[in-house]
Structure 1
Amino acid sequence: MKKILILAIPAVLAACSAQNKKVENADAMDYANTITASELKEHLYTFASDEFEGRETGEPGQKKAAEYLKKEYKSLNLPSPIGGDDYYQEVPTDYFKRGKVKPTENVVAFLEGSEKPDEILVISSHYDHVGMNDKGEIYNGADDDGSGTVSVLEIAEAFVQAKKDGYTPKRSILFLNVTGEEKGLVGSKYYTDNPIFPLENTVADLNIDMIGRIDPSHEGKEDYIYLIGSDKLSTDLHELSEMVNSKYTKLNLDYTYNDENDPNRFYYRSDHYNFAKNNIPIIFYFNGTHADYHKPTDTPDKIEYELLAKRAQLVFLTAWEIANRDARLVVDKAEDTAVGK
């Protein structure tokens, strides 16, 4: 018995040492590099397959997609912030103002921070799409927003690997896959109206909606991503975002759609906006629209997987900096909630 205890001591000490590593000593790029084109492709060929029937809100395909996400989070040993085996935040049907929608749910997973666990960084995507048409054609939604959803899974896996190596982020991270975006940003509205964690403790939302394709404006100069909203509420966030990209990914950050006068009004058209309305700093990552947008031809074979990986790495690295900086992001501007309504 004494020998067993003596042998166990080094293992205990090693475990304690791993838990006490300073996250500042980690190389964030080591973990960003775990986000790979091959793993994103494997996820997306399942998630945007015909089996999921276009993931229409409340329909069987969306339920299968929710189960897929839950299974993946459980495989990463990421707990639910709700508790137990319940990874679903139920969204009441009366939240939907357009037509009858069956019961549906956001999918949530949580990584608790090591030093500032009450401060929450949200990384979001919507996992619903538009289902099928009258001819039975399936809208697979590989880019919209399968690309964002599988990126959230890979980002979660990267943070889990860092934690395994002893580098738990200082702040907590909520991985939030929302339902009902295609029905009017309903899932994210429900979350911000009924937050699992207080909104005043939510430091930022990084929202990923369509990052797997190249739009016509960038053909021949593909190494880009549109950023929307980074400077709307927090100069801190915008400068951090620019620094991260300059240091690591060196993508062309295109702010075309960040213009207040942009006729597309994309700032108001994805789930980050429900956070921005509550004065929570946001970044919306977007590749622009293309000929397959909201068509049955938005399929996984058309995704640029190496570019998708690089864009997802940018989101991860930005999240890493937000989660591990000493001070939370300063909100030095205020959202005019009347705008865009």
Structure 2
Amino acid sequence: MKNILVLVIPAILTACSAQNKKIENADPMEYANTITATELKEHLYIFASDEFEGRETGEPGQKKAAEYLKTEYKELELVSPIGGDDYFQEVPTSYFKRGNVKPTENVVAFLKGSEKPEEVLVISSHYDHVGIDEDGNIHNGADDDGSGTVGILEIAEAFVEASKDGYTPKRSILFLNVTGEEKGLIGSKFYTDEPIFPLENTVANLNIDMIGRIDPQHEGNDNYVYLIGSDKLSTELHHLSEAVNARYMNLDLDYTYNDENDPNRFYYRSDHYNFAKNNIPIIFYFNGTHADYHKPTDTPDKIEYEVLAKRAKLVFLTAWEIANRDERLVVDKAIDTTGK
């Protein structure tokens, strides 16, 4: 018995120390580097394949995509914030004003924070696309927004690996894959109308919509990403974002589309805006449009996977800083709801 105790007690102490490691001692780049071009490519060649039939909201291909995400989250041992085996937040068809939309769902997974679990960071992408056209052409949506969606899977895995090593983030993280973006930001609107966690406890939203390509404006430069909205509500978020990039990634942060006078008005055109309308600081990560936007030619063979990995790493590292800082981000600017 004495010998057994000698063996067991150190094991218990080791387990306890692993659970109680100080997050400040972690190297987030170690976990960012688990986000690889190879794994992103493996995911996207499935997620943007013909089998998923263009992921039209409510259609069989979208349902297959939802099941794929659920399976991946379960394999990562991320729990459902809804409870049990239910990773789907059903979105009522009454939210759709274009008619004939079948029942659909957001996909959600959750990592509970170690110190401030009631405070939640939401990392989002939309996983729907535009389906099959009248001529039978499948719109695979590899960049829009297969790239953001598989990026979230890899970001989730990086946080899980850190947690296994005893570095669970201080704040909780909700991984939110929304439906119906192509129908008018419907899935994110429903989430912010009927949130799983109170919006007043939501510290920020990092939204990823198209991060796998290089647009014509940056031809020959694979080291950029457009940032939109980082300074709209929180000066702290903007400074944090730039500091994280300067420390770890050194991407060219292009704020062209952040200009209020930009005619594209991208700030109002993706799922982050439903969070911003509710006074939640956001960053929208975007690679810009290209010739294959909303066409059947947006296929996984055209994705720049090393570029996708770099951008996903930046999102992870920014999320790490937001989730682990001592105080939640301060909102110090007024909400602008004039754009939509």
Q: Same fold (TM over 0.5)?
A: yes
| Aligned pairs for 1:1-341 within 5 A | 3-337=3-337, 339-341=338-340
In the TM superposition, what whole-angstrom CA distance separates every residue of 1:117-141 from its partner, at most 9, and x where no partner exists? 0000000000000000111110000
| Counterpart Cα distance in 1 of 2:111 and 2:83 | 13
The amino acid across from 2:339 in the alignment is G
Aligned residues: 340
Q: For residues 196-252 of structure 1, what are the alpha-carbon distances to aligned partners after superposition, in whole Å with 9 as ceiling and x for unaligned?
A: 000000000000000000000000122100000000000000000000000000000
Which amino acid letter does the alignment assign opposite residue 67 of structure 1? E
Structure 1 residue identity aligned to 2:129: H
Q: Which amino acid aligns with 1:54?
A: G
Structure 2: how far apart are the matches of 1:119 and 1:245? 24
1:336 Cα offset (Å): 2.4
Task: Report the 3-state secondary structure (helix = DSSP H, G, I; strand = E; otherwise coil) of the residue aligned with 1:30.
Answer: helix
Q: Which amino acid aligns with 1:30?
A: E
Looking at structure 2, the residues matched to 78 and 6 of structure 1 have their Cα atoms a distance apart, in angstroms, of: 34
Partner SS, residue 227 of structure 1 = strand
Q: SS in structure 1 opposite 2:17?
A: helix
Deviations along 1:68-123, one digit per CA (max 9) or x if unpaired, are: 00000000000000000000000000000112100000000000001100000000
Aligned equivalents of 1:233, 1:52: Cα separation in 2: 37
Q: Report how far residue 5 of structure 1 moved.
A: 4.2
Q: Distance in 2 between matches of 1:273 and 1:100?
A: 25
Partner-residue secondary structure (3-state), 2:166: coil
Partner Cα distance (1:154, 1:4) in 2? 41
Q: Deviations over 1:136-171 (max 9, x none)?
A: 110000000000000000000000000000001000
> What's the TM-score, normalizing by structure 1?
0.99
| Letter paired with 1:91 | V
Query: Matched residues in 2 for 1:196 and 1:3: separation?
Result: 49
In 2, distance between residues paired with 1:134 and 1:76? 38
For structure 2, the 5+ residue unaligned runs are: none
How far apart are the structure 1 equivalents of 2:285 and 2:242? 13
Q: Distance in 1 between matches of 2:188 and 2:317?
A: 23
User: Residue 132 of structure 2 aligns to a residue in which SS?
Assistant: coil
Q: Distance in 2 between matches of 1:177 and 1:4?
A: 48
- Partner-residue secondary structure (3-state), 1:118: strand
CA distance in structure 2 between the partners assigned to 1:271 and 1:100 by the alignment: 22
Looking at structure 2, the residues matched to 305 and 2 of structure 1 have their Cα atoms a distance apart, in angstroms, of 55
Partner Cα distance (2:68, 2:78) in 1? 14
Give the letter for the 1:288 counterpart.
G
1:242 alignment partner AA: E
Output the CA distance in 1 between the equivalents of 2:39 and 2:57: 26
TM-score, normalization: structure 2? 0.99
CA distance in 2, matches of 1:34, 1:15: 23
Residue 107 of structure 1 aligns to a residue whose secondary structure is strand
Shift in Å, 1:6 = 3.6
Q: Which residue identity lines up with residue 100 of structure 2 in the other structure?
A: K
Shift of 1:9: 1.8
Distance 1:247 1:19 in 2: 27
SS in 1 for 2:206: strand
1:340 is displaced (CA, Å) by: 1.4
Q: Distance in 1 between matches of 2:156 and 2:4?
A: 36
Matched residue type, 1:201: N
Q: How far 1:2 sits from its partner (Å)?
A: 5.2
Q: What is the letter of the counterpart of residue 340 of structure 1?
A: G
CA shift at 1:13, angstroms?
Answer: 1.0
Deviation of 1:11 after TM superposition, in Å, equals 1.6
Q: 3-state SS of the aligned residue for 1:166?
A: coil
In 2, Cα distance between equivalents of 1:176 and 1:192: 12
